[in-house]
A and B are shown apart, each in its own frame.
Chain A
Amino acid sequence: MSDAIKPDAVKDCRKVGCPMNLVYAKVELAKLQSGQVLEILLDDGAPIGNVPGSVTREGHRIIEQKRLADGAWSLLIEKK
């Protein structure tokens, strides 16, 4: 089902710790229009634990969260 969603922007934040991964996510989201989708790649652990809740609190929508082969995560965020 994820194949149906094509992100408008991709940001690789693997190896980027908290909170800079969220800073980069916010910068990328600021460049998008409402309804567009950002794919952000996040490390396992604190990054995938923290970032989804933070972007959700700001009103954006998580439309998919899936594990990658290297153990990191792909997060699809629809801009509010």
Chain B
Amino acid sequence: MFKLGNLAIETAKHYGADYADIRIIETKNEDLNVRNGKVSADYSQTLGFGVRVLYRGSWGFASSDTLTMEEVKKVSKEAVLIAKASNTLQAAKVRWAKEDSYKDHWFTPALKNPFRIPLEQKLDLMLKIDEILRKKPEIRVSTVEMSFQNIRKWFVNSQGSEILQDLMRSGAGYSVTSVGNNDMQVRSYPASFGGQYYSGGYEIVEQMELLQNAERVREEAIELLTADECEEKVSDVIIGGSQMVLQIHESVGHATELDRVLGYEANYAGTSFATLEKYKKFKYGSPIVNLFADSTIPLGLATHGYDDDGVKAQRWDIVKNGVLSGYMTNRELAHKINDTRSRGCSRSQGFSSIPIIRIANLSLAPGEWELDDLIKDTKNGVFMDTNKSWSIDQMRLNFQFGCEIGYEIKNGKKGRMLKNCSYQDITPEFWGKCDAICNENHWDLWGVINCGKGQPGQRAEMSHGSSPARFRKVHIGIGNKKR
């Protein structure tokens, strides 16, 4: 594979490229789904390569799924021709940040290769869960999912790097839809939209306690049908860990992607309020808010050895003691914040997509509180968890999120269940209202597998760690009955 890689580099150079890299990518996916007892299994495999070149400071990119010497040469030449066309409308040349060259083989630590676990064993667990979930007539739909991914990626660039990475990801989860009382409600475990995902092997699924939680999840979905609706009002809220993940993703992750900040996404995903003059000054949140990016964190979906620019994985601060302290960067844009080196956030969906800046694993550092103490300390409030709906404006300021489940907190006690919970605020104001974060006993990493960005659209995966946290005086229950 490295031989084919070097052929691409030589060809691109021959046609005038100043820089070139190639990624040869092989992916393997297994997606299992049991819906109302019916099994679907989808097994997919892809193989192909993408060549990216810089010609006089302009980009060109081309790809193919035919892995032959001829095709590699043809596609490499095409990439240079495209770069030459781009060069006709180019005000400033691309400035490519320095990075050492590496010859390395990096792989995800995984104990049990999920592709070698017999299909029957996996389906057996899924069908058992399905049976528990559908024991009550109110449950109209039960969906149990498992998903495994293995990516082998060969990276070669014109600066001498030859890197092979072998990345493994495993995930599982389930959700039920209950119908009755003129309503429909959803409850999921361990998280919504497919469940929980980590980088690693099948051992991850075994540790999820999927079976043990099925009955509780089913009963919660049924109870939600007759639960009171979360009233529209201003209230203190405690946001659970799995919902915090989305909060971090949308209001900090995307907001600190440097390409977005600089207007590269202005026509599509949008821009960001976290502009460069705010760097190292702006109060993003209260002083207890610390968010760090980490491409080396165990179990993270964006954990790797190197990014798609060939930059080695790092850990750095995004928000330090409440102040905006960092961005997601790549080799092309690092110089815009006067960094000499990229943070390594350049990733692509696959061989036929060009690498762009993606959110790294981004987490809220744990605080000091036990969850029980935090509830005891809250006079009037609502505890909400598990994401159901999300929306945020194009500069990442005004957001409104919906949660699957909520509980009223009255005089320090968890009370009645609430449905249709939602909350809305403005990003820095909201993080400024954060006055308590639970400790590491309540902290977990949660995987996001459906992050969309770019034109043509690309999907990426990353993880966010968080524990439950409290926010004072937030607008909740939008569109519901007012109190």
Are A and B a genuine interacting pair, yes or no? no
Chain A residues within CB distance 8 Å of chain B: none
Chain B residues within CB distance 8 Å of chain A: none
